[in-house]
Chains A and B, each alone.
Chain A
Amino acid sequence: AQSVTQPDIHITVSEGASLELRCNYSYGATPYLFWYVQSPGQGLQLLLKYFSGDTLVQGIKGFEAEFKRSQSSFNLRKPSVHWSDAAEYFCACRYGGATNKLIFGTGTLLAVQP
């Protein structure tokens, strides 16, 4: 079955440190890939997306993600984390074909230490 895996449930980083959140998907072809962020009590906001082309994509709030076909991964990165980045992050995939559905990972909760 198609799936999205975020292996880290909870991550804590210090403010100013770099960040990498992991995401793996199971699919033979290239899916549409997304990263969303959810602040406490809020809906999800799109950070960035990938379908084709340059495998390093830039998003909002200084985030970027790299698609690696060989590893079936789409990891999210930020060079220097700010306290306001504390939130939950979700990776999602839309697989090809007629479906319009996204499959979401279970999320990674990011805490930022001062």
Chain B
Amino acid sequence: DVKVTQSSRYLVKRTGEKVFLECVQDMDHENMFWYRQDPGLGLRLIYFSYDVKMKEKGDIPEGYSVSREKKERFSLILESASTNQTSMYLCASHRVRGYYEQYFGPGTRLTVT
């Protein structure tokens, strides 16, 4: 089974802090994604990566950056956390060939105070 893990299930940070969310997948998937999930808005794509060191902006990249130094690891960085970044963050991955179904991690619930 594909396994996608995220470094923290719950995280509380202060406004202005730099925040790192880590995601690791163990199935050698080429593509990885970061979403944020908010009630009534569904999942919104922040960034995705289609190869090591390659990234592309999603629909809501403002206030975020990403890093992919190794194929299995994709990090989301909040340069200066703000209260409007309080949300559930979900990481996903998929392989390029096939049905393109994405496999999700358990999520990180981030609260910025």
What is the interface size of chain B, counting residues whose CB is below 8 A from a CB of the partner? 26
Contact status of A105 and B42, CB under 8 A, knowing A42-B107, A43-B4, A100-B48: yes
State whether B104 touches A44 (Cβ < 8 A). yes
Residues in A whose Cβ lies below 8 Å from that of B50: 100
B67 to chain A, nearest CB (A): 19
Residues in A whose Cβ lies below 8 Å from that of B48: 100-101
B17 to chain A, nearest CB (A): 24
What is the interface size of chain A, counting residues whose CB is below 8 A from a CB of the partner? 21
Interchain CB contact (< 8 A) of B106 among A42, A49, A100, A106: A42
Residues in B whose Cβ lies below 8 Å from that of A100: 31, 48, 50, 94, 96, 100
Residues in A whose Cβ lies below 8 Å from that of B58: 101
Interface residues of A (CB under 8 A from B): 9, 32, 34, 36, 41-46, 49, 51, 90, 94, 100-102, 104-107
13 A–B pairs (Cβ distance < 8 Å), ordered by A: A34-B101, A36-B104, A42-B107, A43-B90, A43-B104, A44-B43, A45-B104, A46-B101, A51-B99, A101-B58, A102-B100, A104-B42, A106-B41
